[in-house]
Chain A
């Protein structure tokens, strides 16, 4: 089945560091990928929709200059948390579905647990 790989799975770094998270679709092409954030005991919240070859679409309240998204190819999207602070510590998850398969469920990456000290 369709597989989405996310890297790294765990990051611990100092406040002020920028952290890049990669999301790859391994056996399918994805025009669109989605980035979510989940705080403990809360829902997954959609942060932004990543579009291959164009700008990402951010949800209300998500700072686009803070969370930089690049979708350079049909199999790779990256999320960079710039100048991360402790309040950015969270579980970040990406998802994707094969292009032209809008009715299929999304496939999720393994998630990245980010801890900012």
Chain B
């Protein structure tokens, strides 16, 4: 079983749509949670951290459910520029370090 699982997509949505991504993680000792965005052939860029209380950044809302080991990302009013792969990431303390464990990503394609 993968440590971080995501639906690979692709999600093809029109501009203005609302889209939701889900992610589950297997290690209950995971400490921190993030969503990263990765454009084709580029490095991942931090989109937002995820907290149990839920957090919002403009059109983006992230939610964490520790009991279910489930993380979500909601994008409202999708823009063409939102097209990318969204990576669900957790940190695990291992070998003396906080290590990032990446999901394989969910692809989003926003069309006019």
CA distance A108 to B99 in the complex (A): 13
Q: In the complex where A103-B32, A105-B34, A105-B49 touch, is A44 in contact with B99 (Cβ < 8 A)?
A: no
For residue A15, CB closer than 8 A to chain B, the reply is no
In A24-55, the 8 Å CB interface with B consists of 32, 34, 36, 41-46, 49
For A6, the closest partner residue in chain B by CB is B43
Taking A44-B102, A105-B34 as contacts, is the C-beta distance between A111 and B95 under 8 angstroms?
Answer: no
The main secondary structure of chain A at its interface with chain B is: strand
Contact A41 B97 (CB under 8 A): no
Q: Is B104 among interface residues, defined by CB-CB distance under 8 A? A: yes
Distance in Å: Cβ of B33 to nearest Cβ of chain A:
11
CB of A57 within 8 Å of the partner chain: yes
Contact at A43–B103, with CB atoms within 8 Å? yes
Q: A44-B102, A93-B43, A103-B32 are in contact. List 8 more A-B contacts (CB 8 A).
A: A34-B100, A43-B2, A43-B4, A44-B44, A49-B95, A91-B41, A110-B42, A111-B41
What is the minimal beta-carbon distance from B78 to any residue of chain A, in angstroms?
22
In the complex, A95→B89 CA distance in Å? 14
- Interface residue? A106 (CB, 8 A): yes
Which A residues are in CB contact (< 8 Å) with B101?
46
Known: A42-B104, A43-B102, A43-B103. A110 touches B43 (CB 8 A): yes
Chain A residue with the shortest CB-CB distance to B105: A43
Give complex CA distance A36, B101 in Å. 10
A-B contact pairs, 9 of them (CB 8 A): A34-B100, A41-B8, A44-B102, A57-B97, A91-B41, A93-B44, A95-B100, A105-B49, A111-B41
Q: Which residues of B contact A108 (CB under 8 A)?
A: 43-45
User: Which of A49, A57, A106 counts the most B-chain CB atoms under 10 A from its CB?
Assistant: A106
